[in-house]
Structure 1
Amino acid sequence: MAVTLKRKRGAVSYKEPSSSEDDLSENYDQGRNTVRERTAPTRRCAGRSQAVDDVSSESEHDSPEPATVSRPRTSRAPRTSRPSRVKQSISYKDVSSDDEEDEDPDADFELEEEQVLTVRTKRRATAPPRPQPRKSGGTKGRCRRKMVLGAPLKLNQQAQAQSERKVAAIPTDGHNPAWATLPYHVLLQIFVYASHPLHDENMKPTSAIPWLVRMARMCSTFAKPALTALYRNPPIFAIRQTRKDLVHHLITPPPDAHDDCRVMVKRLELDATQMTALTDPTNSVTDLVGLVRSLKTLREIDIIDPMDRPPFRARLRRLRRWVYPNQLFEALRQSSLRLRSWRWNQTFCSQGPLWIKTIHTDAAFQSLRELTFTKFHPEADREDADAPQDEPTTEELLASALAVLPKLRTLSFETCGVVSGRLLPLLPTNLVCLSITNCGELLSDALQAFLATHGTHLEELVLNHNQALDMSFLPDLKCSCPKLEVLRMDTTYYSSLAMSSDNEPLYDRLLGENEIPTWPSTLRTIDLEYLRNWNSTSANNFFNSLIDAAEDLPWLQEITIIAMVDTDWRQRAEFRQKWSAKFKRVFARKWEATDPRLASLRAFREWKARVGEEGEEAKVDSFIADVPEELHEKAEAVTVNEDSDSDVPLLPSRTQRQYEGWGSSRLRSRSKAATSYGEESDDEAVSEQETASDAEKEVFVQGRCHTVIFRIDNSRPREEMLNEADFLDAEPSGDEEWNGNEDNDNEEGGGYAW
């Protein structure tokens, strides 16, 4: 038999041995010899292999006498000894290059002098090891991190610091307000504001639902306003286990109910994809009809498909098609409901637009103020010349369906191919709000012509995700829409398929170099995001038009501009710095700290006790309230002698401030303020100062916008935008330093050491 130099490793345990000797190996030879002790660990792998081979039997034996082992040289040694039960000491010394040829490459430990390993052949249940305290210093070995998929993460120090809120100390008398004495309408507004929304866009419930239930059970005064806030828009599809009970409770409330919940419901949001699971697949239509009939104050019905939201792509798997049941409209005819909001989805319509017109003539739909069309597309073009040409088109049928609604004021189109130059001229002329979203056939010329004829009463214009729409309609916006208050346009586009990349704009340029936008004076909100496909000249003209019109925009309170300019990165940085500072200086409202004297009645009394009434009035009269009065006196003394070399800042005297003309339309010239500090001898400095002062005079500071977001970069919009929070490092919970005694084989989910 050939002699093998490399021995097979047996199972090695590094746990401390127990006091009993029942499970030790007894399969050793009775006539084994005693060999001399090993004096030096010359070959760490060979030494450990010898200890393993000597006790590699897997059967149970009697307790033999302990003996020591020595390291063999060339052949397998007889099993004449077994290891002594001595606690081992493990060293994590790196493998030397001299020993790599003969030793086991999988060996990771080194045995010290006169110490061997204890090997168990039968595993026994032992008590769990005591937790060892973590050491503050580093460890010699590697750290073992337990990696479990989906484990919660620890917050890093920065996130923990942000999560800790600093509460300012406010002096108070300790009197709690009598909340129960507030009137019903005040409590209702409080509960509605505190609980909105009850569910997210995916119909997932929020913590506001159980909170309203607890508030309703707290006291009898809170019961009705809390339940009204809950049932105003009941979260039917946000709950699963009790959905059937909620529907039946709304249809037939129990006789011992605190209030009649049927008069609290104002709006119904229904998911068409789960309509068969409203109560059960058999009685869902009947329960829906009963729900509509029982609600006496219902005003809005919105039946949606969650896939109609961005990115506007169809689902991968087919679902059973749900259509508007005829029983629903029959129940609306027999009821006394007068709807204000409704949504039509062509996917749920079993008939065409002509049938929609007949539905609009019902009394329940004659009071509609808001109407939404989703996924309405035109019919195929008639290519056959022999086909009858006198048949009405889809655009004409929709326009006729809208013409029978006398109170319609808000109209929305979502993912509709019918929105084009054919439909827009046929829309009503008394629209107040128009929203067009993800309509790829809409062009700027058709929109500009529509606004010229139908934009007189328009107050809100929302144009989001329209891939072929540019901003060429802005030069005539002031004349076309003199009452416009809200303008929103998001140029983020989505691909038709998840794996495709057809989300680029379909227009050549967003705004021409000679097209200067005009802005109505009634604007309150300007929200323009991800503007692109234009050069720096067009962008300069666009930004200058807003700066120049600042004096004519007294009601503007919110402005958001996110754009991309195709220039060099250095020029883009200068471009961004210049316009960001100018927009903030012109439109941003100056922050004013809250007055600590008005924090509470006690704070006001304490302030009044400290300061006399006459002294406070004299302090408030000054234009610069933050500067102490002593500094004002020193400044007045300095202004008398202008040639003085004092370092005290030059402030205008009281008489000078009193008669100096400060107004919203007039700004003090920098050249006048600069002459007090000294004359410049350099002609270039004087010319630059005059140029800056002239430019300062031309800028009007509007200063009334509470929101000013101005960002210029070249980050392309994506469906999921990642920010800094998505790349912050956070350690998994339970991540501790490895102490060497962890049994990784028994961990659930496994793990590995970094």
Structure 2
Amino acid sequence: MALDPSRKRKRAHVSYREPSSDDHLSDSATHTDNPARRKPPVRRSTRHQSHEVEQQPEPSTSRPTPNRAASPTLPPSAAHRTHRRQRKPKLSYREETTDDDDSEEHAEADYEPDEDVVQRKRKPKPPRPSTPRKQSGHGSSKTIGARKRAFDTPLREKKPLQPVVAHIPTDGHKPDMSSLPYHVLLQIFVYASHPLRDENMHATPSIAWLINMAQMSQAFTKPALTALHRNPPIFAIRHNRRKLVHHLITPPADTGQQYKVMVKRLELDATQMSTLTDSTTSVADLSSLISSLTTLKEIDIFDPLDRPPYRERQKRTRRWTYPPELFDTLRQTELRLQSWRWHATYCAEGLLWIKDIHADQAFQSLRDVTFVKFNFDEKRKDDSTDPTTEELLASAVASLPTLQSLAFESCTAVNGKLLSLLPSTLVSLSITNCIYLTSDSMHAFLSDHGYHLEELVLNHNQSLDLSFLTSLHQDCPRLEVLKMDLNYYSTLAMSSDNEPLYDWLLGLDEVPTWPAALRIIDMQHLRKWGADAATNFFTSLIDSAAELPYLRELRILAMVDMDWRQRADFRRKWAARFEKVFAWRGKAPSPHLASLRAYREWKADEQEAGDRNDSLLDITAEDVRKDVPPSTGDGADSHPEGESDNGSDSDVPLLSKRKNKNEAWNPKRLRSRAKASTNYDETSDNENQDEDADADADTQHTEEPDDEEPTFVQGRCHTVMCRIDNLRPREEMFDEADFLDEERSGDEEWDEDRDEVEEGYAW
């Protein structure tokens, strides 16, 4: 067959443009039935486009055609391109769902199906008869709507848990709470309403509850308002902040309550101090507020970002500084403050100015002082004769004669030089997020200034290890509270400089010693040590159990780097030992003493059970008396072996002979079962493998004798927690609850009565 020369020169135009869904559907609809009739695309010039468009055949009725009259002014080629641009489906990254029929119609509106697709479309199912059972199929719009809402909500948003209310039988007599004394009601309201705000300065429902209680009874008014105004939530009430401040400054004359003597503490957000009432009179209102509160004891002006992860504020805000009017007002009043917080960002002057402020009468009575973000001068030369930041800070602290509690937060000036200059009369010391605090400087401070120390809190100090604990018993004999959190934070959100700056947490030859007055030991995120060092640490606590009679709380969270099998055995061993040595094993309170009615019902049940047992014993004794042969009278024991004669008609010795000796349980038989039932906390990965290893090792543990019994059982701690894993601490730890949505998982939506399986997801 000869080829046409004119067609031979005409090659098909090759296009690398990605075809749209319209082209794909049109090609499939036109050429699927007869592939042999498919014509290759030919090159078309601009001159022939208008003629070819006019020569197109009439479209089929099964496919809609564009309305060319909509754009009469455009040329045919432009109209064709405009039409194709309008027909091109929109690109969407939205997840496809089967919410309802409308969504399917909108999805199909982007393209035009052919006749075969329309004919193959599934017929709608007849409506199912309504049943009393819950209709919650996977295809229902209610379920998928809830699923979509749960996907859009953040992970941290959870439903509030319903409190479990215990049923206590009562006689229905309600005690007259209004007859209680004022100081008792005040303690009740303070305990029930704490806290009034959360860590984000948002109000809690306790504020509205206290107001309702104050309006309920005249006897509740004063204690409820006192609990509300002890630490007034000025910045937690955003809309009524100005009214609350003016209410404290000038209370109404018709009220019989003295709000000026109720306020004991002020917590002020420094980032919002310029808008305390308004931008013009905030400083004057602050001075008036402090002067009107005659019993004010504590003032805490803080930054909400002074908490983990201790990063600087990214968004620039208006800088607020301590106004001179504030200290002038304090000089004119008769206030004697007991607590104050100094923030270096809000100090327009230097540390010498702070020392002068401490000389005022209002600050001479300070017992608790906190210093935040006081850093050493990096530009200071070594040969300079000016006093260093450490010396100025120590002189400001030394000017407070009644100081008992001292705290440093995010201060680079905290080092061995500063600690050596601190007073030796401190009762409480807290150092948080100070990168230059080392174990050597801490050991030197405690050996010289730790005799009166009762509380020591050392959190997030990146260069501090546990070497100073070796002489803690001798340096701090009065220490009652020891808290250490060794989780560290990066300086920037995108950096990873949160690793410890010490080589080892505890040396192999270093054994901690513990003061006898300790009540609380809380040490978290202990890491960067081996199994031998951890063993020395745990053994020191077990061996000191007899010397810790006042210990009530013991929390240890440690990460030990070892093989997962060895770590499982290590955790099993020490968790059981701490529980056995320190856990409180006293009797729980009797639930029958919850109320008088509960006690009466319990006594009645006891009496009824006793009468029933007495009647049963009488019947049994009568039956036994008929079967016992008469006594021989020779004084010999006529009872069988294993019985005894108590000289009464009781059947207690008779019941003992009914026991089968073969049914006695061997203690060794229960040994493996008791060890296998012990629950150990495992928070690291490979949980299932650890459980398999525990099951495989049960036989070995049952064969070995338990020769490591504790020499002394303290048994007085109400809180004992020992967790050993290999988790890497993070700034925010997530658990399973953070990844659960509102929809419950499981087969609660399964309906076994359905004849057909609906299309949808298989979970």
Distance 2:454 2:115 in 1: 78
Distance 2:451 2:417 in 1: 20
Greater RCO (Cα-Cα under 8 Å, separation 6 or more): 1
Instruction: Give the TM-score of the pair, scaled to structure 2.
Output: 0.69
Unaligned runs of 5+ in 2: 1-22, 29-59, 71-100, 102-111, 612-643, 668-698, 750-760
Q: SS where residue 308 of structure 1 aligns? A: coil
Matches within 5 A, 1:259-278: 259-278=257-276
Q: Are 1:576 and 2:571 counterparts?
A: yes
User: How much has 1:407 moved relative to structure 2?
Assistant: 0.9
Bigger share in helix? 2
Distance 1:687 1:712 in 2: 20
1:453 corresponds, among 448, 453, 478, to 448
Q: Are 1:506 and 2:501 counterparts?
A: yes
Distance 1:533 1:198 in 2: 40
User: How much has 1:582 moved relative to structure 2?
Assistant: 1.1
Relative distance call for 1:327 and 1:595 in structure 2 (3 A) is: same
Q: SS where residue 521 of structure 1 aligns? A: coil
User: How much has 1:709 moved relative to structure 2?
Assistant: 1.3
Distance 1:191 1:453 in 2: 44
Instruction: Give the TM-score of the pair, scaled to structure 1.
Output: 0.70
Task: Give the corresponding residue for 1:217.
Answer: 215
Relative distance call for 1:369 and 1:138 in structure 2 (3 A) is: closer
Relative distance call for 1:163 and 1:284 in structure 2 (3 A) is: closer
Deviations 1:393-448 (A, max 9, x none): 21111211111211100000000111101100110101000000000010100000
Q: Are 1:523 and 2:523 counterparts?
A: no
Matches within 5 A, 1:581-730: 581-590=576-585, 592-611=587-606, 645-648=661-664, 691-692=705-706, 694-696=707-709, 698-730=710-742
User: How much has 1:7 moved relative to structure 2?
Assistant: 6.4
Distance 1:380 1:566 in 2: 38
Distance 1:277 1:109 in 2: 69
Relative distance call for 1:646 and 1:249 in structure 2 (3 A) is: same
Deviations 1:336-389 (A, max 9, x none): 10000000011111111111111111110111000000000112364364x4x2
Task: Give the corresponding residue for 1:672.
Answer: none
User: How much has 1:104 moved relative to structure 2?
Assistant: 4.3
Task: Give the conservation status (yes or no) of the 8 Å contact 2:136–2:143.
Answer: no
User: How much has 1:597 moved relative to structure 2?
Assistant: 2.6
Relative distance call for 1:167 and 1:732 in structure 2 (3 A) is: closer
Q: SS where residue 254 of structure 1 aligns? A: coil
Deviations 1:28-59 (A, max 9, x none): xxxxxxxxxxxxxxxxxxxxx85565999999
Deviations 1:83-141 (A, max 9, x none): xxxxxxx9xxxxxxxxxxx974994763699x9xxxxxxxxxxxxx9x99985667699
Q: SS where residue 467 of structure 2 aligns? A: coil
Aligned residues: 584
Letter in 1 for 2:355: K
Unaligned runs of 5+ in 1: 10-48, 60-89, 91-101, 116-128, 617-631, 652-684, 738-751
Task: Give the conservation status (yes or no) of the 8 Å contact 1:395–1:422.
Answer: yes
Task: Give the corresponding residue for 2:397.
Answer: 402
Distance 1:349 1:706 in 2: 45
Matches within 5 A, 1:354-393: 354-380=352-378, 382-383=380-381, 385=383, 387=384, 389=385, 391-393=386-388
Task: Give the conservation status (yes or no) of the 8 Å contact 1:145–1:753.
Answer: no
Relative distance call for 1:53 and 1:322 in structure 2 (3 A) is: closer
Distance 1:191 1:647 in 2: 59
Task: Give the corresponding residue for 1:191.
Answer: 189
Distance 2:477 2:276 in 1: 46
Relative distance call for 1:163 and 1:242 in structure 2 (3 A) is: closer
User: How much has 1:702 moved relative to structure 2?
Assistant: 1.1
1:542 corresponds, among 508, 513, 537, to 537
Distance 1:486 1:469 in 2: 18
Relative distance call for 1:725 and 1:436 in structure 2 (3 A) is: same
Task: Give the conservation status (yes or no) of the 8 Å contact 1:151–1:732.
Answer: no
User: How much has 1:474 moved relative to structure 2?
Assistant: 0.4
Distance 2:139 2:359 in 1: 81
Q: Are 1:256 and 2:266 counterparts?
A: no
Letter in 2 for 1:645: K
Deviations 1:167-220 (A, max 9, x none): 444322110111111111111111101110000112111111111111111111
Distance 1:581 1:557 in 2: 17
Deviations 1:149-177 (A, max 9, x none): 6888799xxx99x9465544432211011
Task: Give the corresponding residue for 1:306.
Answer: 304
Distance 1:378 1:704 in 2: 45
Task: Give the corresponding residue for 2:322.
Answer: 324
Q: SS where residue 571 of structure 2 aligns? A: helix
Task: Give the conservation status (yes or no) of the 8 Å contact 1:376–1:418.
Answer: yes
Task: Give the corresponding residue for 1:482.
Answer: 477
Relative distance call for 1:447 and 1:110 in structure 2 (3 A) is: same
Matches within 5 A, 1:486-497: 486-497=481-492
Deviations 1:473-532 (A, max 9, x none): 001000000010000000110000111000000000000000000001111100000000
Task: Give the conservation status (yes or no) of the 8 Å contact 1:298–1:337.
Answer: yes
Distance 2:257 2:141 in 1: 68
User: How much has 1:591 moved relative to structure 2?
Assistant: 6.3
Letter in 2 for 1:695: E
Distance 1:420 1:207 in 2: 43
Distance 1:135 1:246 in 2: 52
Residue identity over aligned pairs, in percent, reads 57
Distance 2:434 2:705 in 1: 48
Relative distance call for 1:254 and 1:730 in structure 2 (3 A) is: closer
Task: Give the conservation status (yes or no) of the 8 Å contact 1:565–1:572.
Answer: yes
User: How much has 1:728 moved relative to structure 2?
Assistant: 2.2
Q: Are 1:110 and 2:148 counterparts?
A: no
Relative distance call for 1:335 and 1:635 in structure 2 (3 A) is: farther
Distance 1:179 1:141 in 2: 51
